[in-house]
Amino acid sequence: MSEILSIHHVTVHLEQNRRKLTVLSDISITVQKGEIFGIVGESGCGKSVLSNSILDLQPKKMRVSSGDILFEGQSMLKKSKHQLQKMRGKEISMIFQNPMSSLNPSLTVGYQIVEIIRAHQNISKKEAKGIAIDVMKKVGLPRAEQLFYDYPHQLSGGMQQRVMIAIAIACQPKFLIADEPTTALDVTIQAQILHLLKEIRREQNTTILLISHDLGVMGDMCDRIAVMYAGEIVEIGTTAQIFENPSHPYTKGLMESIPTPDKKGNPLYSIPGNVPSLQERMGGCPFASRCHLAIDMCFTSKPQLKKVAKAHDVSCFFSEMEEVSFEYAKSFS
Amino acid sequence: MLKKFNLVTGGAIVLFLILVFIVSFFYVPHNVNQMNIENRLIAPNHNYLLGTDNFGRDVLSRIMKGTQTAFIVGGGSVIIGLLFGILIGTTAGYFGGWMDELLMRMIDALLAFPGILLALILVTIFQPNIEVTVIAIGIMTIPSFSRVIRSGFIKCKQMDFVRAARNFGSSHLRIIFHHILPNTVSSIIVTASLSFSTAILVEAALSYLGLGIQPPDPSWGRMLNEAQGFAKLAPWYTLAPGFMLTLTILGFNLLGDGIRDLHDFSE
Amino acid sequence: MDYVLKKTVSSLFTLFVVIVLVFLAFRIIPGNPANIILGVEATPAQVEELEQKLGLDQTLFEQFIHWFKGVLVLDFGESLRFSEPVLSLIHERMGVTFSLAFMAIVITIFVSIPLGIIAANYKGKFLDVLISIGTQIGLAIPSFWMGIILIMIFGLMLHLISVGGYVPWSENPLRAFKALLFPATAIAIPQIAILVRYLRTTMIEQLNFDYVRTAKSKGLKDSTILLKHVLKNALIPVITIAGLNFGAILAGSLVIEQVYALPGFGRMLITAIGDRDFPLVQGMVVMIAIIAITVNLLVDISYRYLDPKIKLK
């Protein structure tokens, strides 16, 4: 296995009323070729900003102020506008959360697929249409020939997301970023779309960066998972490590709040409080204000990511103290 | 930055116009209506700063007096529009239901009808003069006032303080005039400013057609009508009233936009 | 379908209100219309004859039914001055006014779309500010003054146009075009100002939509995104506004025809008002209302069909 994407100590700032607010602080992730890497966290934790900034698609007010993003060993941040444009859709593609609003309402489905093919390949409209129809079939769109001329609003949400995926894989990119691809969909459709993503990975050996707030989704999909909280990575490890041995109190909270059959009948756990807004973030551990284990030190100094096992890092002062059990902490609440 | 630009520029122009308007009652350089054929079409000089017209009248004085016509027409029609607009807008917005439907259909009808035609009809029937002009233009401004006030009411009606007032048993009239109307004041001011400039524009067009203000009263539109024939001989005569008209309309438009930007109704 | 029906009914209602109001307006003329038309020197016999011709000897209701039946088949009676049916007079003059309105619309669309795009693309920058100042001034300049200024510059100084040089298209298309270009420009300027502001706002709004980010993620050029994706979504409401302003364009041409001495609708209407030719004025007003309301209705309906987003609802 080799590295395809590595994010090195990336910090993103937001300029607002002449104040600099930190959106992402010192994020480091390495994604291996061919794996499905998951980033999980509540909304507002910065996971979409992170995935958007790989292709420089984050809102204009936000800037990567330090660190670097390397794709196949080359810095994405040093690329020119033109170079980036060439890579978007061809090397790295994206699938967004809400297919309805992410597709252009006034262009046909076919046009929107053909467009990306013709942006990166110098071929005729007819040839591009042939490729588009093939891709549409591949992502499981029925009656592709007719659907080609339909407008997005004529399709169901699941079909719209399939169109988005067709657009994303039309140029057979090496890397696919799926930002909450199933959040806006029904549960049954969710499973189909996730299955489709897995299939694409298997057939084309595409590396996938999957972003979700739903740890449950991640378990089935990912090889490795990073847990994000308030603009920082608090835990990172293989899926097995995260699920079997969650070590950060926040990850544990997330695990507790996944509905599973054995929890049936009991009220589902939810982490008290909310993600602090950008203005509310202070020094120290970002999770301290919601953490049952928090001691004074947690509010004043920032814990660093530390290895707790091979390929398993956690940023929590308590991570090594096995005796402090989560159940124990919960009994205080 | 641009927000303040509209407000400041518009405000400055309007202040200037008000100043000219007030001064024109007490002082104009020359007699407005005194004709003197010997002095006809004199180019601007130190005595006649903007030259003279084809009857030898001082253009600057007539332009200054023209602010009176413009302000009377603008003010008069805004008052008409406002009064009927409050009546129609409050009835439709506050009471809703079939009354709203009926009134709004009528407002739509008025809107679909090119405004200047209405003025032309009235002028045909009653002979052109300043009163007819004011009434005709006033009627044209009713739809925008009605709509603004209606939507303000629909928004406010749902708000807690209005519900509270109703629960305390306040009368309809008290709720309308005491609680809701003050909250729509800023949007009414915006509409008034924009309607004021539209009114002046329409008056000028009517007067230019010879169907608005009648001679010898000075009106910028009327002056343009007379000046057009002498455009080659006396370009100042054409330029001066047109410039004044544009400045006035620009001023009130900018002021209206500036106030709107300040409150950001659109967002 | 439901929408089309509702809109059509409401337009018909509007039209009916206009017809009734125009009818009533010409019945509340103080004094005897026949007397007013003929002046003080008319003999009683002449007055009586005109009264009969105008139908003033009938009851108000009878008069209305007669008038309304006529309007239904576009029969507005006879002009007093020309002793010709109002409709055929209107028909003769329609060419000029419609050519003017059409040219004004074409100019408006071709100028305002690029300006709107530029303003949106350079939002807050120098060009945007410049265009915004330009639109404010464009809105403030009365079109008839603009018309006079164009004559002063292009006629009196550069000798490119001459007032009153209009000939019908069939005779000499080039001359007709030349005679109409400047008046159409004068009518178009305030419309351009309105449209540019509207297009700018809509485009800026559209630029924040998710589909723009998708388009970017596909590796499309900025110009493709702007022209193919954003403009298409911004354009439909903008064209609608242009169509809905048709009434304003017609009204503008009424005045501009006077400036350029063009033998159109407006000039005839103004003359008819001066002549107190009531049937002609009445007929023309109703005709203009019919045209304006019909165009509004058509634009409204086609908007529904053109915009795929709305079909959804």
Flag whether residue A49 sits within 8 Å of chain C, measured between CB atoms.
Answer: no
Domain count, chain A: 1
Is the CB of B114 less than 8 angstroms away from the CB of C28?
no
For the domain made up of C94-312, give the CATH fold: MetI-like fold (1.10.3720)
Residue among C210, C307, C309 minimizing CB distance to A96: C210
Predicted confidence (pLDDT) at residue A128 exceeds the cutoff of 90: yes
**pLDDT the model gives residue C185:** 94
Residue among C211, C217, C308 minimizing CB distance to A101: C211
Predicted confidence (pLDDT) at residue B266 exceeds the cutoff of 50: no
- For residue B159, which phi and psi values (nearest 5 degrees)? -75, 155
Q: B166: exposed, middle or buried (C-beta count within 10 Å: 0-12, 13-18, 19+)?
A: middle
Chain center to CA of B257: 15
Of B141, B102, B84, residue with least CA distance to C14: B102
Q: C174: exposed, middle or buried (C-beta count within 10 Å: 0-12, 13-18, 19+)?
A: exposed
Q: Give the count of Cβ contacts less than 8 A between chain A and C.
A: 77
Contacts of C233 in chain A (CB under 8 A): 104-106
**pLDDT the model gives residue A333:** 46
Comparing B74 with B126, the larger pLDDT belongs to B74
**pLDDT the model gives residue B3:** 58
Instruction: Please count the helices (runs of H) and the strands (runs of E) in chain B.
Output: 10, 0
Contacts of C215 in chain A (CB under 8 A): 104
- For residue B25, which phi and psi values (nearest 5 degrees)? -75, -30
- With respect to residue A168, please indicate whether it lies within any of the assigned structural domains: no
The per-residue pLDDT for range B73-90, each reduced to its tens digit, is 999 999 999 999 999 998
- With respect to residue A270, please indicate whether it lies within any of the assigned structural domains: yes
Non-local CB neighbours of A215 within 8 Å, separated by 6+ positions? A40, A225, A254, A255, A258
Of A122-126, A132-136, C176-180, which gets the smallest average pLDDT?
Answer: C176-180
Under an 8 Å CB criterion, which residues of C touch A? Answer: 209-211, 213-221, 224, 228-229, 232-233, 236, 307-309, 311-312
Q: Please, which residues bridge with residue C256 across strands?
A: none
**pLDDT the model gives residue A327:** 52
* C-alpha Rg value of chain A to the nearest Å: 21
The per-residue pLDDT for range C95-116, each reduced to its tens digit, is 889 899 999 999 998 999 999 9
Residues 124-153 of chain A with CB under 8 A from chain C are 151, 153
Q: Please, which residues bridge with residue A233 across strands?
A: A228
For residue C201, the chain B residue with the least C-alpha distance is: B266
Give the minimum alpha-carbon distance from A6 to chain C in angstroms, rounded to a whole number.
Answer: 19
Is the CB of A96 less than 8 angstroms away from the CB of C209?
no
Max CA separation in chain C (angstroms):
85
The per-residue pLDDT for range C272-313, each reduced to its tens digit, is 888 888 888 889 888 888 888 888 888 888 777 766 655 443
Q: What is the sign of the dihedral through the CA atoms of B150, B154, B155 and B161?
A: positive
Residue A308 in tokens: 């707790």
Within A63-156, residue ranges assigned H as helices are 81-87, 99-102, 109-120, 125-138, 144-147
- With respect to residue A221, please indicate whether it lies within any of the assigned structural domains: yes
**pLDDT the model gives residue A129:** 95
Predicted confidence (pLDDT) at residue B70 exceeds the cutoff of 90: yes
Q: Omega before B216 cis (within 30°)? A: yes
Comparing A43 with C258, the larger pLDDT belongs to C258
Amino acid at A55: L
Task: Kindly report the number of other CB atoms within 10 A of residue B76's CB atom.
Answer: 19
Residue A254 in tokens: 């997330």
Residue among A52, A90, A98 minimizing CB distance to C219: A90
State which residues form the domain around A80: 3-91+173-330
Contacts of C305 in chain A (CB under 8 A): none
Rank B76-80, B138-142, C268-272 by mean pLDDT and report only the highest.
Answer: B76-80
The per-residue pLDDT for range A282-323, each reduced to its tens digit, is 778 888 888 888 888 888 888 888 888 888 999 888 776 654
pTM here is 0.81
pLDDT band at C21 (very low <50, low <70, confident <90, very high): confident
Contacts of A209 in chain C (CB under 8 A): none
Kindly state the average pLDDT of the residues C14-33.
79
Full DSSP string of A199-254: HHHHHH--EEEEEES-HHHHHHH-SEEEEEETTEEEEEEEHHHHHHS--SHHHHHH
Q: Give the count of Cβ contacts less than 8 A between chain B and C.
A: 124
Kindly state the average pLDDT of the residues B144-169.
79
CATH number for A43 = 3.40.50.300
Q: Please, which residues bridge with residue A211 across strands?
A: A39, A179
Non-local CB neighbours of C48 within 8 Å, separated by 6+ positions? C34
- Is-contact B262 C183, C-beta < 8 A? no
For residue C276, the chain B residue with the least C-alpha distance is: B124
Contacts of C144 in chain B (CB under 8 A): 204-205, 208, 224
The per-residue pLDDT for range B158-214, each reduced to its tens digit, is 777 777 777 777 777 777 777 777 778 888 999 999 999 999 999 999 999 988 888
Provide the residue ranges of all domains of chain C, joining segments of one domain with +: 3-72, 94-312
Kindly state the average pLDDT of the residues A151-179.
92
Side by side, the strands of the sheet bearing A3-16 are A19-32, A3-16, A62-71, A74-75
The per-residue pLDDT for range A205-231, each reduced to its tens digit, is 999 999 998 888 888 899 999 999 988
Predicted confidence (pLDDT) at residue B267 exceeds the cutoff of 70: no
Predicted confidence (pLDDT) at residue A173 exceeds the cutoff of 90: yes
The per-residue pLDDT for range B203-249, each reduced to its tens digit, is 999 999 988 888 878 899 999 988 888 877 788 888 999 999 999 99
Q: Regarding beta strands A19-32 and A3-16, do their DSSP bridges make them parallel or antiparallel, or are they unpaired?
A: antiparallel
Side by side, the strands of the sheet bearing A224-229 are A92-95, A175-179, A207-212, A36-40, A224-229, A232-238, A312-314, A306-309
Provide, for chain C, the percentages of residues in helix, strand and coil under a 3-state DSSP scheme, each rounded to the nearest 5. Answer: 80, 0, 20
Flag whether residue C131 sits within 8 Å of chain B, measured between CB atoms.
Answer: no
d(CA C52, CA C55): 5
Query: For an interface test with A, which of C211, C225, C239, C310 has the most A Cβ atoms less than 10 Å from its Cβ?
Result: C211
Task: Kindly report the number of other CB atoms within 10 A of residue C254's CB atom.
Answer: 26
Residue among A88, A98, A105 minimizing CB distance to C219: A88
Flag whether residue B135 sits within 8 Å of chain C, measured between CB atoms.
Answer: no
pLDDT band at A4 (very low <50, low <70, confident <90, very high): very high
% of chain B beyond a pLDDT of 70:
97
- With respect to residue A16, please indicate whether it lies within any of the assigned structural domains: yes
The per-residue pLDDT for range B28-37, each reduced to its tens digit, is 888 877 777 7
- Is-contact B232 B159, C-beta < 8 A? no
Query: For an interface test with C, which of B4, B7, B117, B246 has the most C Cβ atoms less than 10 Å from its Cβ?
Result: B117
Kindly state the average pLDDT of the residues A74-98.
92
